């Protein structure tokens, strides 16, 4: 057990003295959990292999899953990669800082533990004021996976991090809720046509608008293909409860969810992940609304917190409504399908 220091910092009015405590810990080879605009990250000095090992230990993360390196200035990429493709330069200008991670060919200074033996390195420049300032103050690139226990839903609130990592890391910065609510988009820019390895905050549509052609890793579409982003192959985002997704047209979804609920509740405690449009239709049920179908970003912000909340309520099975697979809805469905282990019921007449 470590003595974890929990530091409260207001992202809109950063107390530099408090943040300095955290940056000193990073410099000294310790682990610091901090908020980003996507999800909370668990950071360590990206150039210090001993510090990096502590991340894997704290999370219980498999060592073949590489880490994203976080920087606070665009120029910092230069030392970390072998070359910067022109398309990457365009994307950096357009989307950094922000929820876009790009995979480059790595330079020699990247420790092998970061890339899990791959020849590439994933890099991102977060826009969250605490993340940005912390990285800047520490003066080193910061490797940071999501700050959850491996396999659990990613943390979007400080209390999620405290629940998972208290006693396992040196510092947890409590700095409010994460605005995007889902992890960054991971885009491989080493190919002529960049490939989305993980959908996220910067959507396929946004990337296509800037680049024209963008492809999507086959492993995301077909569960029989091995994904090229090693992290995507693990059962992930999974609460303790079993998760079932229902897809189809909305009225059919609602009917199916009701039928399943009645069937399951004979033996199990059931939770329903509904939307603003449907939440009042389910009677006599434990229902949480993910947000409005008209505003899929509102859904992105809530899904991980709701998965955790149902665990707290000791629900045995969660029935989740599918949403439209476009814009950020693509990333939402990717995470929910993974949480459900691709256990999908197609609702029809
Ligand atoms: O939004 C985010 O990206 C958050 C915050 C903290 O920045 N971080 C995050 O890290 O989600 P993590 O470790 O939970 O997910 C990193 C993903 C994994 O799926 C990993 O396999 C992939 O990025 N990845 C890392 N390096 C890679 C590489 N060189 N090639 C392909 N995929 C890589
Ligand atoms: Mg993660």
Taking only the tens place, the pLDDT of each residue in 10-35 is 999 999 999 999 999 999 999 999 99
Average pLDDT of 198-224? Answer: 92
| pLDDT at residue 233 tops 70 | no
User: How far away, in angstroms, is 327 Cα from ligand 1 center?
Assistant: 20
Ligand nearest to the CA of 334: 1
Note residues around ion ligand 2 (Cβ under 5 angstroms): 146
- The residue with greater pLDDT, 156 or 224, is 156
CB neighbour list of residue 70: distance below 8 Å, 6 or more residues apart: 36, 41, 43, 46, 123, 124, 125, 126, 131, 135, 141, 142, 143, 144
Q: Is the CB of 155 under 6 A from ligand 1?
A: no
**Nearest atom in ligand 1 to 99's CA:** 1
Ligand 1 atom 20 nearest Cα: 231
Q: What is the mean pLDDT of the chain?
A: 95
Residue 39 beta carbon below 6 angstroms from any ligand 1 atom = yes
Query: Residue 204 C-alpha to ligand 1 middle, in angstroms?
Result: 17
Task: Tell me if residue 220 falls in helix, strand or coil.
Answer: helix
Over residues 220-237, mean pLDDT: 71
Residue 3 pLDDT > 70, yes or no?
A: yes
Q: If pLDDT is split at 50, 70 and 90, which confidence band does 230 have? A: confident
How confident is residue 224, by pLDDT bands cut at 50, 70 and 90? Answer: low
Q: Ligand 1 atom closest to Cα of 106?
A: 29
pLDDT score for 234: 61
CA dist list (Å): 52 to 26, 55, 91, 110: 11, 5, 28, 11
CA atoms of 246 and 102, how far apart (whole Å): 32
Percent of the chain at pLDDT exceeding 90: 91
In tens, the pLDDT along 146-192 reads: 999 999 999 999 999 999 999 999 999 999 999 999 999 999 999 99
- Name the residue with higher pLDDT: 124 or 236: 124
CA 265 to ligand 1 center in whole angstroms = 37
Distance (Å) from CA 109 to ligand 1 centroid: 19
Strand ranges in the chain using DSSP code E only, listed in sequence order? 5-8, 32-34, 41-45, 68-70, 100-105, 120-124, 142-143, 171-174, 185-188, 195-198, 215-216, 242-247, 270-274, 286-289, 317-321, 344-346
pLDDT for 12: 97
Handedness of CA 202, 207, 209, 215 (dihedral sign): negative
Burial of 86 (0-12, 13-18, 19+ CB in 10 A): exposed
pLDDT above 70 covers a percentage of the chain that reads 97
210: confidence class by pLDDT, cuts 50, 70, 90: very high
Q: Ligand 1: which atom is nearest the Cα of residue 229?
A: 32
Q: Is 153 in the pocket of ligand 1 (CB under 6 A)?
A: no
Is 68 a pocket residue for ligand 1 (Cβ < 6 Å)? yes
pLDDT by residue (tens digit) across 58-89?
999 999 999 999 999 999 999 999 999 999 99
């Amino acid at each position: 057990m470590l003595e974890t220091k929990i530091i409260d910092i207001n992202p809109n009015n950063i107390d530099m003295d408090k943040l300095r405590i955290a940056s000193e810990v990073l410099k000294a080879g310790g682990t610091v959990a901090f908020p980003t605009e996507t999800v909370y990250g668990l950071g360590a000095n990206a150039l210090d292999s001993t510090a990096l090992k502590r991340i894997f230990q704290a999370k219980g993360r498999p060592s073949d899953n590489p880490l994203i390196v976080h920087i606070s200035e665009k120029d910092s990429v230069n030392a970390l990669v072998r070359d910067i493709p022109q398309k990457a330069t365009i994307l950096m200008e357009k989307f950094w800082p922000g929820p876009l991670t790009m995979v480059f060919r790595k330079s020699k200074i990247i420790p092998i533990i970061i890339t899990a033996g791959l020849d590439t390195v994933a890099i991102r420049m977060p826009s969250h004021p605490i993340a940005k300032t912390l990285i800047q103050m520490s003066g080193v690139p910061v490797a940071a996976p999501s700050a959850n226990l491996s396999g659990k839903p990613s943390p979007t609130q400080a209390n999620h991090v405290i629940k998972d990592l208290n006693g396992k890391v040196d510092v947890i910065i409590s700095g409010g809720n994460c605005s995007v609510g889902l992890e960054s988009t991971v885009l491989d820019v080493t190919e002529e046509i960049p490939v989305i390895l993980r959908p996220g905050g910067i959507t396929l549509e946004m990337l296509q608008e800037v680049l024209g052609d963008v492809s999507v890793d086959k492993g995301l579409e077909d569960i029989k293909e091995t994904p090229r982003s090693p992290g995507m192959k693990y059962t992930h985002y999974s609460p303790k409860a079993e998760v079932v997704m229902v897809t189809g047209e909305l009225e059919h979804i609602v009917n199916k969810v009701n039928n399943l609920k009645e069937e399951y509740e004979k033996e199990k405690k059931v939770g329903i992940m509904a939307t603003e449009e449907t939440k009042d239709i389910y009677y006599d049920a434990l229902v949480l609304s993910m947000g409005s179908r008209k505003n899929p970003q509102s859904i992105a912000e809530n899904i991980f917190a709701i998965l955790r909340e149902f665990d707290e309520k000791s629900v045995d099975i969660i029935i989740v409504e599918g949403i439209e697979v476009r814009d950020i809805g693509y990333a939402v469905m990717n995470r929910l399908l993974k949480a459900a282990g691709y256990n999908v019921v197609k609702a029809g007449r």
